Amino acid sequence: MTNQTVNGDSQPGRGSLDRLAEKELEALRRKGLERRTRRVEGRAGPRLRVDGREVLMLAGSNYLDLAGDERVLAAARAAVDEYGGAAGGSRLINGNLALHEELEAELARFAGHRAALLFSTGYMANLGVLATLAGPDDAIVSDSLNHASIVDACRLSRAQTRVFRHNDPRDLERVASGLAGFRRRILVTDGVYSMDGDVARLAELVPVARAHDMIVVLDDAHGLGALGPSGRGTAELEGVEVDVAVGNLGKALGSFGAYVACSETVRSWLINAARSFIFTCGLAPAAAGAARAALQIASAEPQRRKTLHERAEQLRAGLRDAGFDTGASTTHIVPAIVGDNARVMALCEAALERGIYAQGIRFPSVPRGTERIRFTPTSAHKADEIAFAVRTFAELRSP
Ligand SMILES: Cc1ncc(COP(=O)(O)O)c(C=O)c1O
C-alpha cells in the first residue's frame, strides 16, 4: 500500500497497463489507423472552430441546421426550467417524465406508427430492439454495410446472424430461403448508409422479407427528418411500412437520443425486456425539449430538406467533375472515395488548413481499400460555400 500514489505509475499494475496501452496504440499507428478527437468550439452551425481554426463544417449530422436554432434552444431551456437538469432515474423507477411521454406521442405520429419509446442513444436503441426481438433460436439477416451498432446488437442478441450483399434484394432472397428452421426471422437494415449515402432499396427488400415471414427493422438514423416528402425518412421515400423503425434525435433533429417507433404492444415488450432501456437513466429534459421543438420545425419547414438536397447535389456533382468517385451516394451524405489511409488523412488535414472540415474515414468504419473523405452538408450551407469546398478539394487532388 505504501507505494500507492494518486500519480499513477508507482501504483502496482498501472505502469504495466500503460505499457500495454502504448503497445496497442503503436500497432494502430504503424497501420495508419490511430484515431484522435478534434476540439470543436462554438454553437452548432455551418461554420465552427475546429482545433482552433474557423472552418466550414462539412463533417456533422446537423442536417437541417436545428442544433443551433433559437427555437430549439429555447425549448431546451424551458424543459430544464420545468423539469431540471436530469430525469433523475430510470424510466421504470422515477425517471418517466410527462415530457418523455409527450415527445413519444409526437414522434409516433410523425413516424406513422402507433407508439414510440425513447432510448438514450441510437446505439442503445439498436441493442435494445434486436436483443428483445431475437434470441438464440432466431435468425437476423443484416445488410453487409449496416452500422456498427447493428452489428453489435446482432452479437448481443445471440441470434444466428446472416449477412446479405449490400442492398441486394436477390441476395436477400438467397439468404432468406435458407432460414425455414428458425423460430423468428428478422431483416435489419439502415435507411441511409452512413458512410456511403445510398438509400436502402426498401421497396424491393421489404417484399422479399414479407414473402419469408420476416419482421422488418429499419435503422433510419440518417433518413429521419431528411428524406421523404414530409421528412418521415426512408420508409416514406420508398413507400413501405416496416414493423419497427429506429429514429435518431441527434442528427437531423439537432438534439440527442433516439426512439423506436412500433406498435403499442411492441413498445410494452421493449419496456419489459430491452435492457438498454431498463437499466439506464431517462433522457435528459433538455434533449427531450429540444427534440420536440425540432420535430415541429422539421415538419413545418420543408424548405430545409429541399435546400439540403440541393447543396448535396451541388457538392456531389462538383466532386465528380473534379475526378472524385462519389460511389452510390444519392443523399446528403457524400463520400469521395480515395482508397488509401495515408492519402485520405493527408487530404483531410490539408483541407482543414484551408478552412474546410470533412472527415477522413478509414477501416474499420469502411472496408479497407475504400477509405474516403465523407462530406455532410447541411441546409444552412450557402451555394458559394459548397463551391469553395469543391474548388479546394479539386486543387488538393491535383496540386
Ligand atoms: C446508422 C446509424 N445507426 C445508429 C447510430 C447511433 O446513433 P447514436 O449516435 O444516437 O448512438 C448512428 C450514429 O452515428 C448511425 O449512423
Rounded CA-CA distance 250/257 in Å is 6
What is the crossing angle of helices 169-176 and 202-211, to 10°?
A: 20
Q: Round the average pLDDT of the chain to a whole number and report it.
A: 95
pTM exceeds 0.85 for this model: yes
DSSP 195-219: TT--B--HHHHHHHHHHTT-EEEEE
The whole-number pLDDT of residue 169 equals: 98
pLDDT higher than 50, residue 1: no
Q: How far is the CA of 1 from the centre of ligand 1 (A)?
A: 44
Q: State which ligand 1 atom lies nearest to the alpha carbon of 192.
A: 1
Ligand 1 lined by 149 (C-beta under 6 Å): yes
Question: What backbone phi and psi angles, to 5 degrees, belong to 395?
Answer: -70, -40
Q: Which fold has domain 70-300?
A: Aspartate Aminotransferase; domain 2 (3.40.640)
Instruction: Encode pLDDT of 75-110 as tens digits.
Output: 999 999 999 999 999 999 999 999 999 999 999 999
Q: How confident is the model at residue 257 (pLDDT cuts 50, 70, 90)?
A: very high
Mean pLDDT of 206-219: 98
CA distance 337 to 357: 16
User: What is the share, in percent, of the chain residues with pLDDT greater than 90?
Assistant: 93
Strand, helix or coil at 48?
A: strand
Is any atom of ligand 1 closer than 6 Å to the C-beta of 122?
Answer: yes
SS3 89: coil
Provide the pLDDT confidence category of residue 12 given band limits of 50, 70 and 90. Answer: low
Ligand 1 within 6 A of CB of 179? no
Which string of DSSP letters, residue by residue, matches 18-42?
HHHHHHHHHHHHHTT-------EES
C-alpha cell at 81: 426550467
Retrieve residue 112's grid coordinates.
Answer: 406513422
Q: Whose CA is nearest to atom 16 of ligand 1?
A: 194
CA of 10 to the centre of ligand 1 (A): 40
Express each pLDDT in 19-50 by its tens digit: 999 999 999 999 888 999 999 999 999 999 99
Task: Check pocket membership of 221 for ligand 1, CB cut-off 6 A.
Answer: yes
Asked if 134 and 176 touch (Cβ cutoff 8 Å), the reply is: no
CA–CA gap between residue 258 and residue 209 (Å, rounded) = 25
Give yes or no for residue 4 having a pLDDT over 50.
no
Class of domain 34-63+302-397: alpha beta
Distance of CA 324 to the CA centre of its chain: 24
DSSP 159: P
| Contacts of residue 2, Cβ cutoff 8 Å, sequence gap at least 6 | none
Dihedral, 339, 343, 347, 349 alpha carbons, nearest 10: 130
Domain definitions of the chain by residue range: 34-63+302-397, 70-300
**Residue owning grid cell 439506464:** 280
Neighbours of 148 (CB within 10 A): 12
